[in-house]
A and B are shown apart, each in its own frame.
Chain A
């Protein structure tokens, strides 16, 4: 289990948090086509390398925050740094 650094609570076991996956942009539902919408719902870049992710600090401050994580090494860093 990896350690995730909550900007408010500090380093936590990832089991204290909920991973919400890569940061995505929600299309405007009023104008989005079904295919654009499903791309938003289901398709992710999933690179072997750095990715910006949302995590939810469900057992701590209950804030959603983003970090960068290297999917190949599980190294993490603040998403504001870059």
Chain B
């Protein structure tokens, strides 16, 4: 039995039939379904939930909702759980955090005695000097004191986080009476509506209201739920509003993820967050048992929890008065009902674990265990600020109001004024109609202004004027601080005294004061404390609140897990038509850009050796492939490659290098001429997308008069490189319609023919591996058949598949560089050793002025082949080439492998031009600090520089 649980309340949200067992600091407790962690513990008589951050003061329930600064707990392996809003689940292991060494007694409480050392700016003043102590002592001690629970990343049991995109016409932030009214009216006007409510149920303050409130709530909720145009998201928070109504919604406790980030593009945003109750500053205002009026009403009416036995109530508004009625109904004795409107006040609360004595404004001291504060409201204008508004303070109503909003952001409900429930609903309805009208008009406009998108449906909605009757601004006394000093920021332990001191020290603008004292910088992020901080500053400086301003509200309105921000990544994984085969045959996967590729099938060295000795096949599908057609293709090739393309006959293939407009090597590959106006261009695997977009850019924006059609066929054609001295013998068994003899089909030529019965394959002779090799491009639907036919027919020739790693060994032996590995973002054409390839006398080519300038220089690094003098030592890629015993860098190793063909280490590297001549000695600084010698080679190719093998 829960000692503080009341008999059934009319609006209670707990299910008394279910009993949920959980533990609090290891001790067994029970609650009901519908309880929050805090309400269940309060029902069981728990007063103290946490220790405050700096002074380690005992803290209890203050607001009993998501914003409660005192209710951060650890649940299992999840830290910083908000016990004021997290619903109880059976088996939860809940414990207090930030209470080293424990909740009842801790060392930090001694800080109260030395409070003056921890006042404003204490971090800056105390922990600055001496610097060495920061590492040795301060950091360790502060870590122990710092708030926050423990993460257990090794054992975390959280599911995957998720992400969703949405495009509602109208997004309503806040599901109270005004928000529900807005959603219903917007849906009735034909808009698609997303209604987002922070709490687990719709209703706002009606949920803990009287019988009339509950009746209105039932009607509104039924209307919302029955309208098919409204999507309701409860336990979800609108955390930010960005340009063009890009709205972030954090959906908690979604069935497939602990948090889901919804990215919504809304036509109109209706901001209806209601009001947040404001604490009152007086001595002892953070003592357990001091609660805001909303907290006691929620405890009593939602969870049937009696919040105390003897209460002092300070009220300045009808909601505070309603708390008195609720307390009486719950059997709480009202020791004193103080009316702030009549100048009555509370000066001090005494008591450590719980309120004991209360000193009243008239000097009396009364005994009580509960102090209820209903002294005012803060307008949570975050979303309005994010839309560019600067809300203005109204002293007669003692709060801020919206000022200037863009057309696609509308405010309604308590944030705009006061009213009866019916008036709030009516204002909401009018706002919803207007929001829907503006959204639908914009949608119509956009559709009709777009050439080929969906055409608009029906006539354009008539433009409505904003004829909403404003809600009244009911006068409210400005109750911020009593005659005593107390806590302003409960998260950060910043008192009004600290703010006065900061102001005296010169930090007397609200933004400076915030950064110096950390007021509003804790988990509450200003929702409870920002207006009180401004009020204390105004009082200290004898200024008006209007002139003080407030700190800027920035997103997120409520905290978001980093996991939810990362969410699910919408990035495709690309697989060639042969990838299943590779995996079935033991390939280790290699992730290369979007592609997953076979790195090797177990022994890359054996695979490489087999290519040199027999024949191997490799799947090179990720190679970028662009089908180019049209009479002006040659002009395009002349523009984007550094070399010449005018005299490429049909049936020929040419190697080309591209540089960007800044002269830096950007890509390379071969392009073959398949017909008079038909070419196939290949790019590097990583450059496939960028080169395609680059070609389109020049064709669309620079030479729109050129007649060239570009089609990306990277995935459509599966590319198989057949390499090795016996590859011709193999292809002779499978190819029809092509004369494969060396004279009829020489190196760097292309033919079309039938391979293994598949017609129209493109075959070209190129040599990345340095061996005799044919690259076959097969329509992907037939790729597996061709691949398996090659293997079956090559069995007696010693055929083996080979992967990317053996290809890298083979190409390095041959001295072929890889753009992006042997070159980088600074490598200009001369550095890559392109020499005669580059034609500076062309009228137009990308980066031509930079190429001219680069070739006039003598100081650019040069790519060379290097062999270490000790053949057994393989330097790491990126090892530095230095000047002798000094650390002056003269270059670096860009590629290195042990060569199975030569039985020695082989490298490519970029070196200073002074070291580029064949025979130059270079010093390579290994990662273990050793310096070894290497020799620059005459050719890039370590193996077969004459090209006898590939030309066979």
Contacts and interface: CB of A to CB of B under 8 A. Distances in A.
B243 A37 contact: no
Given A9-B450, A10-B450, A34 B697 contact: no
Given A8-B452, A58-B693, A63 B700 contact: yes
A13 interface: yes
A50 B454 CA distance: 29
B265 A3 contact: yes
Contacts of B702: 26
B581 interface: no
A43 interface: no
B792 interface: no
A54 B243 contact: no
A62 B692 CA distance: 10
A7 B847 CA distance: 31
Interface stretch (B137-145, B332-340, B559-567, B848-856): B848-856
Interface string A65-82: 000000000100010000
Interface string B240-282: 0011101000000000000000000100000000000000000
B843 interface: yes
B682 interface: no
B446 A1 contact: no
B342 interface: no
B451 A74 contact: no
A81 to B, nearest CB: 10
B382 interface: no
Contacts of A7: 450-451
Nearest to B846: A29
Nearest to A29: B848
B661 interface: yes
Contacts of A20: 697
Contacts of A54: 701
Contacts of A13: 246, 265
Contacts of B114: none
A10 B454 CA distance: 8
B33 interface: no
B844 interface: yes
B446 A10 contact: yes
Contact of A37 (B242, B701, B843, B850): B850
B524 to A, nearest CB: 28
B571 to A, nearest CB: 13
Nearest to B245: A3
A1 B451 CA distance: 23
Interface string B837-873: 0000001110111101100000000000000000000
B446 A11 contact: yes
Interface in B420-448: 446-447
A27 to B, nearest CB: 8
B188 interface: no
B168 to A, nearest CB: 14
Contacts of B843: 30
Contacts of B210: none
Contacts of B242: 1
Contacts of B450: 5-11
B33 to A, nearest CB: 40
B677 interface: no
Contacts of B697: 20, 56, 64
B644 to A, nearest CB: 16
B849 A34 contact: yes
B242 to A, nearest CB: 7
Interface string B628-640: 0000000000000
B453 A2 contact: no
A32 B446 contact: no
Contacts of B2: none
B474 interface: no
A18 B853 CA distance: 30
A1 B696 contact: no
Interface in B771-800: none
Contacts of B693: 18, 56, 58
Interface in A21-57: 26, 28-30, 32-34, 36-37, 40-41, 54, 56
A62 B265 CA distance: 23
B729 interface: no
A5 B453 CA distance: 11
B689 to A, nearest CB: 9
B920 interface: no
Contact of B849 (A37, A58, A74): A37
A1 B693 CA distance: 23
Nearest to B841: A30
B699 to A, nearest CB: 9
A64 B661 contact: no
Contacts of A63: 700
A63 B848 CA distance: 26
A30 B844 contact: yes
B225 interface: no
Contacts of A5: 446, 449-450
Contacts of A40: 661
A41 B661 contact: yes
B435 to A, nearest CB: 18
Contact of A9 (B243, B453, B850): B453
Contact of A64 (B447, B701, B847): B701
Contacts of A30: 843-844, 848
A24 B446 CA distance: 28
Nearest to B699: A64
B642 to A, nearest CB: 12
Given A1-B243, A58-B693, A10 B447 contact: yes
Contacts of B447: 10
Interface string B817-852: 000000000000000000000000001110111101
A56 B692 CA distance: 12
B883 interface: no
B662 interface: yes
A62 B696 contact: yes
Q: Which of A11, A29, A62, A63 neighbours the largest number of chain B CB atoms within 10 Å of its CB?
A: A29
Contacts of A41: 661-662
Contact of A34 (B446, B454, B700, B853): B853
Contacts of B452: 8-9
B694 to A, nearest CB: 10
B844 A29 contact: yes
Contact of A1 (B246, B700, B848): B246
Nearest to B848: A29
B849 A2 contact: no
B244 A64 contact: no
A82 B733 CA distance: 66
A40 B847 CA distance: 11
Contacts of A36: 849
A56 B701 CA distance: 11
A48 to B, nearest CB: 16
A1 B245 CA distance: 9
Q: Which of B244, B848, B853 neighbours the largest number of chain A CB atoms within 10 Å of its CB?
A: B244
Contacts of B845: 29
A2 B696 CA distance: 24
Contacts of B849: 29, 32-34, 36-37
Contacts of A29: 844-845, 847-849
Contacts of B844: 28-30
B572 to A, nearest CB: 12
A2 B243 contact: yes
Nearest to B845: A29
Contacts of A64: 696-697, 700-701
Nearest to A56: B693
A20 B693 CA distance: 11
7 contacts: A7-B450, A29-B845, A29-B847, A29-B848, A34-B852, A64-B701, A78-B449
Given A7-B451, A56-B697, 6 more contacts: A8-B450, A8-B451, A9-B452, A10-B454, A18-B693, A62-B696
The 10 closest A-B pairs by CB, nearest first: A10-B453, A29-B848, A10-B450, A37-B849, A3-B244, A64-B700, A2-B243, A74-B243, A1-B246, A30-B843
